[in-house]
Amino acid sequence: MGLDKIKADEIVSIPKGSRPNPDAYLSKEYIDMHLSQFDDGLSVIQTEWAYGSYSETNGFVGVPDDNTLFVLPKKYCDEVVSRANGNISVIEKELGFPNEYFSDGGGLVRIDVDDVTGFNLRLPSGNETGANSLWIPGGYTSGNIPEAISDII
């Protein structure tokens, strides 16, 4: 079972850095079911600027400070990209980014991983460096797209 709005709002009101791990408020069955959506692969979308400035230069994708990377199931990424039909604001909204977050990044880069074995997939707690003001507990973006975090790739 997921979260009701009251519990979700309570968790969001806790300062970033002090929020509980999802296994404290979600059942193992819920977490396992949620993460099974990634069995056919994961995707990451970032700006060309971020990819060129960080990922290519450093040789990995993600935030080394806390070894995290927000990811979405590959099949959902296919659907989001199709619905967007080139409109970056649709991608921002569905993936839970602030409006115009991607606008100055020189386009988008999509990274797909087919085999997620060894990526340490887990639900985000909201304490991750990459968790923004639109983060909500339960493993879905504010645009209702399943999300998880992995170790950097």
Mean pLDDT, the chain, whole residue set:
93
Cα separation, 82 vs 76, in Å, equals: 10
Cα separation, 139 vs 123, in Å, equals: 6
Contact present, 116 and 37 (Cβ < 8 Å): no
Cα separation, 39 vs 33, in Å, equals: 10
Q: Which one-letter DSSP state was computed for residue 53?
A: I
Cα separation, 48 vs 74, in Å, equals: 19
What pLDDT is attached to residue 42? Answer: 97
**pTM for this predicted structure:** 0.90
Residue range 40-75, pLDDT digits in tens? 999 999 988 888 888 888 888 887 888 899 999 999
- Name the residue range of residue 64's domain: 5-150
Cα separation, 121 vs 79, in Å, equals: 21
Residue range 82-110, pLDDT digits in tens? 999 999 999 999 999 888 888 877 789 99
Q: Which residues contact 28 (CB under 8 A, 6 or more apart)?
A: none
What's the total number of domains in the chain? 1
